[in-house]
Amino acid sequence: MALITVLFLTILMTILGLTMVVSVNSDMMINGYYGNERASYYAADSGINIARQYLVNQLYASVVQTSCLGWGANAVAGCTTPPLNATTAASAALSNLQSTYSGSFTPVNTGTAGGSWPSYFMLYGNASCTTGVTPSGTTSTLANVNGSSLITSYSFNFSYTLCSVGRGAALQRTAVQESGTLTVNVHSQDIPPPTFAGYGAFINNYTPCSGYLVPGTFSGPTFTNGAWELGNSGAYIFTNHVGQANSQIDYWIGSNCNKSTASSYSGINVNFQQGLTLGAPAVPLPPNSYSQAWAAIDGLGCGEATGPSCNSSSNGNPPTNAQLNAYMKDVNGNSYPATGTSSGVYLPYSGTTFGASTTTGSGGGIYVQGNASVVLTPGTDISGNLTQIYTITQGSTVTTVTTNPAANTTTISSGGTSKTLTGIPDNLVSNPGSTTPSTMLYVNGTITGLKGPGQGVPAIQSNAMITVAGSSNIDITGDIIYSVEPVSLSATDTLTAAAANGYNASATNALGVFTASGNIQLSSPYANQNLEVDGSLAAIGQTGTGGCTSSTCGFTVSGSINTFNNVGGQIQSNIFGGNMNTENTFFDQRFTNWTAPGGGGFSPPWFPSITNNGSYTPQQPTIILSQQRTSWAWAPVQ
């Protein structure tokens, strides 16, 4: 019985052993087949990703990267055609893709993926799926550049289909296919314009991790010779290209400053609508404000290093008491004191000659000696002609100056005395060189208050081109608004149509505010604590004696401001903290009308120039690529 039992158990154990061997062998075969199937699947999917990125690289390489302000028939040589021929680029990209990845299997585990599972992929085409790429539409953005309508950005769309078959170490194969759209966005880089008015925002010194920018909408070319810093307390919208000299941008999360080379960051609400460039060439600064002081006298600005030829004794130097005495007079016809004075308002009464250039009428503008407050008011004469009124207060002395382009007169009044001069202030360095009615109001001292008549009330007449410059601080103490807004106050910031509000696209109304050694201080006297200033505002200059320090040449806030709207741009050497909730810059698109660096263009008269004492390197267009997958599926095994 024992022997029979042992034999029975031996037979049973043998059967169980054979069963286990068969089961394990079957599991091993199933796992092997599954592993090969997964390896071939991942190889096919990796092939899709490799092929898609190859297409992106090919399309990127097809973009002509010539530096252009815009593209079109009226553009300069090399920029008359679009930067990308979509049909040619698609054909070349597909041909190169197929010659590289079709016809034979390509290993996936190469290069940095050398340690991955051995697998291969190959692109294919048959009745069920054909690899291909075709242009599917192009959109463009038209802008006013140098007085011409040029395309400043393109969006090229390409429809693609990729068919990939993968193979693992064995011969088992899996195929996948993907369809979608590749988009190539090309934006013309904003080459620095001849004056700083061509910037919506410019900051010279913006030290990394020194404090983030007030949230808001920022339009127009935007640049800093430092690093932009953005926080998480609100949304940022940059409608034009943004550039900086520093190689990293800073993102603030609470009190933590995070450096990055990316144009987005988790927790930061920012939209760079036309791209971000890091590590760009620095922009040189204007030398001083001497040219603005001279512009009030001669209409030229003899201190401007790149301006027309001036008397060598005055070029690059401020006007002396003797020179002011020779050319400037007050309301009573008295010359500027040869020994100097502490206050007074002076005009050049008649034409004066400087080198080869002769002023006309009342020269370039108004020269104010000493601290003063200024109110800007639009007006009309008895005939209905548009006038611009400047009310200048120094202590108890109030002086008004009224310019009347239609009547070609300038009237100065003070203390019951009034004198009307034939002619109006002229800009003799305008592009292309013809005389343009413009006014320089130069205050050799502190502007203790600069404003219009009241909140929401126009201050700048539609035919007035004005620059207000000071040798020290400029306190803006109320709204300064154009009588007709040149641009729409929105994120699109487009030129206002004539049919909508009567705006004349050729009108020359403009305001510039400039100090080369002081601060521009903003304050709101209104109950809602809002403030609007139309015009390009610049507190910028060289560092040194009589120039900028670490605590000057920037924007400060007196008290608190709820919302600050600026129609123009803000340019500063230094950035300071201010009690302000929201800041919106609506760039004046007319200031994009420049010819070439140093060539002039539309801007506030005698505004500080970029090319006075240095050069720059034009930048190539910004190229941004994106992709959208519309379908993905397994395909029949090939």
**pLDDT tens-digit profile of 520-578?**
999 999 999 999 999 999 999 888 767 888 899 999 999 999 999 999 899 999 988 88
- What pLDDT, on the 0 to 100 scale, is given for residue 67? 82
- What pLDDT, on the 0 to 100 scale, is given for residue 402? 94
Residues 182 and 326 in one domain: no
Which DSSP letter does residue 113 get? G
Of 544, 492, 545, 536, whose CA–CA distance to 513 is shortest?
536
- The number of domains in the chain is 2
Q: Which residue has the tokens 């920037």?
A: 554
Greater confidence (127 vs 61) lies with: 61
- What pLDDT, on the 0 to 100 scale, is given for residue 397? 96
Asked if 43 and 168 count as a contact pair (C-beta separation under 8 A), the reply is yes
Residues 584 and 631 in one domain: no
Greater confidence (27 vs 130) lies with: 130
Task: With a cut of 60, say whether residue 589 has pLDDT above it.
Answer: yes
Sign of the alpha-carbon torsion through 395, 397, 398, 404:
negative
Task: With a cut of 90, say whether residue 307 has pLDDT above it.
Answer: no
Q: Which residue has the tokens 């144009």?
A: 263
Residues 111 and 90 in one domain: yes
Question: Which of 59-73, 97-111, 246-260, 580-594 is most confident?
Answer: 246-260
- Look over the chain and give the mean of its residue pLDDT values, rounded to a whole number: 83
Task: Report percent pLDDT > 70 for the chain.
Answer: 82
Q: pLDDT of 224-246, one tens digit each?
A: 999 999 999 999 988 888 889 99
Tell me which residue range forms the domain holding 334. 290-619
Cα distance between residue 143 and residue 80, in whole Å: 15
Task: With a cut of 80, say whether residue 351 has pLDDT above it.
Answer: no
Helix axes 2-62, 86-101, angle to 10 degrees: 150
**Helix/strand/coil (H/E/C) assignment for every residue in 358-421:** ECCCCCCEEEEECCEEEEEEEEECCCCCEEEEEEEEECCEEEEEEEECCCCEEEEEECCEEEEE
Q: How confident is the model at residue 600 (pLDDT cuts 50, 70, 90)?
A: very low
Instruction: Specify if 200 maps to a domain.
Output: no
- What pLDDT, on the 0 to 100 scale, is given for residue 9? 84
| Contacting residues for 606 by C-beta, under 8 A, at least 6 apart | 291, 292, 295, 301, 304, 364, 427, 429, 438, 440, 467, 469, 512
Q: Average of pLDDT values for 252-258? A: 93
Q: How confident is the model at residue 393 (pLDDT cuts 50, 70, 90)?
A: very high
- What pLDDT, on the 0 to 100 scale, is given for residue 562? 94
Of 366, 361, 477, 473, whose CA–CA distance to 421 is shortest?
361
Residues 308 and 408 in one domain: yes
Q: Average of pLDDT values for 117-125? A: 85
Residues 457 and 517 in one domain: yes
Task: With a cut of 60, say whether residue 21 has pLDDT above it.
Answer: yes
Question: Which of 303-312, 365-374, 436-445, 575-584 is most confident?
Answer: 365-374
Residue 298 burial (C-beta neighbours within 10 Å; 0-12, 13-18, 19+): buried
How many residues in total does the chain contain? Answer: 638
Residues 183 and 101 in one domain: yes
Cα distance between residue 249 and residue 244, in whole Å: 8
CA distances from 476 to 359, 520, 525, 527 (A): 31, 7, 10, 16
Cα distance between residue 467 and residue 511, in whole Å: 6
Task: With a cut of 90, say whether residue 172 has pLDDT above it.
Answer: no
Residue 95 has phi, psi (to 5 degrees) of: -60, -45
Question: Which of 274-283, 511-520, 603-612 is most confident?
Answer: 511-520
Q: How confident is the model at residue 147 (pLDDT cuts 50, 70, 90)?
A: low
Instruction: Pull the structure tokens for residue 189.
Output: 């880089």
Q: pLDDT of 476-507, one tens digit each?
A: 999 999 988 877 776 555 555 433 333 345 55
Cα distance between residue 575 and residue 5, in whole Å: 98
**Low-confidence winner among 47-56, 421-430, 567-576 (lowest mean pLDDT):** 421-430
Cα distance between residue 491 and residue 271, in whole Å: 11
Task: With a cut of 60, say whether residue 432 has pLDDT above it.
Answer: no
Instruction: Specify if 131 maps to a domain.
Output: yes
Instruction: Specify if 194 maps to a domain.
Output: no
Q: How confident is the model at residue 354 (pLDDT cuts 50, 70, 90)?
A: very low
Residues 562 and 464 in one domain: yes
Q: Average of pLDDT values for 314-333? A: 82
- What pLDDT, on the 0 to 100 scale, is given for residue 497? 44
Categorise residue 73: left if φ over 0, alpha if ψ from -120 to 50, beta otherwise: alpha
- b/e 49-73 (16+ beta carbons within 10 angstroms → b): ebbbebbbebbbebbbeeebbbbbe
Q: How confident is the model at residue 358 (pLDDT cuts 50, 70, 90)?
A: very low
Residues 411 and 467 in one domain: yes
**Secondary structure class of 123 (helix, strand, coil):** strand
Residues 355 and 495 in one domain: yes
Q: How confident is the model at residue 599 (pLDDT cuts 50, 70, 90)?
A: very low
Task: With a cut of 90, say whether residue 52 has pLDDT above it.
Answer: yes
Categorise residue 49: left if φ over 0, alpha if ψ from -120 to 50, beta otherwise: alpha
Residues 554 and 629 in one domain: no
Residues 516 and 551 in one domain: yes
- What pLDDT, on the 0 to 100 scale, is given for residue 161? 94
- What pLDDT, on the 0 to 100 scale, is given for residue 388? 95
Cα distance between residue 502 and residue 481, in whole Å: 17
Q: How confident is the model at residue 287 (pLDDT cuts 50, 70, 90)?
A: low
Cα distance between residue 158 and residue 179, in whole Å: 11
Instruction: Pull the structure tokens for residue 389.
Output: 């009124």
Cα distance between residue 479 and residue 481, in whole Å: 6
Cα distance between residue 215 and residue 232, in whole Å: 9
Q: pLDDT of 74-107, one tens digit each?
A: 787 888 999 999 999 999 999 999 999 998 898 8
Instruction: Specify if 15 maps to a domain.
Output: no
Residue 31 burial (C-beta neighbours within 10 Å; 0-12, 13-18, 19+): exposed
Q: How confident is the model at residue 15 (pLDDT cuts 50, 70, 90)?
A: confident
| Contacting residues for 611 by C-beta, under 8 A, at least 6 apart | 192, 194, 284, 306, 597, 598
Q: pLDDT of 434-489, one tens digit each?
A: 456 789 999 999 999 999 999 999 999 988 999 999 999 999 999 999 988 877 77
Instruction: Specify if 423 maps to a domain.
Output: yes
- What pLDDT, on the 0 to 100 scale, is given for residue 508? 72
Instruction: Specify if 412 maps to a domain.
Output: yes
Instruction: Specify if 472 maps to a domain.
Output: yes
CA 70 to chain centre: 15
Greater confidence (507 vs 217) lies with: 217
Contacts 24+ apart (CB under 8 A), 432-438: 432/600, 435/299, 435/360, 436/465, 436/508, 436/605, 437/403, 437/405, 437/463, 437/465, 437/508, 438/364, 438/365, 438/465, 438/466, 438/467, 438/605, 438/606
Residues 627 and 540 in one domain: no
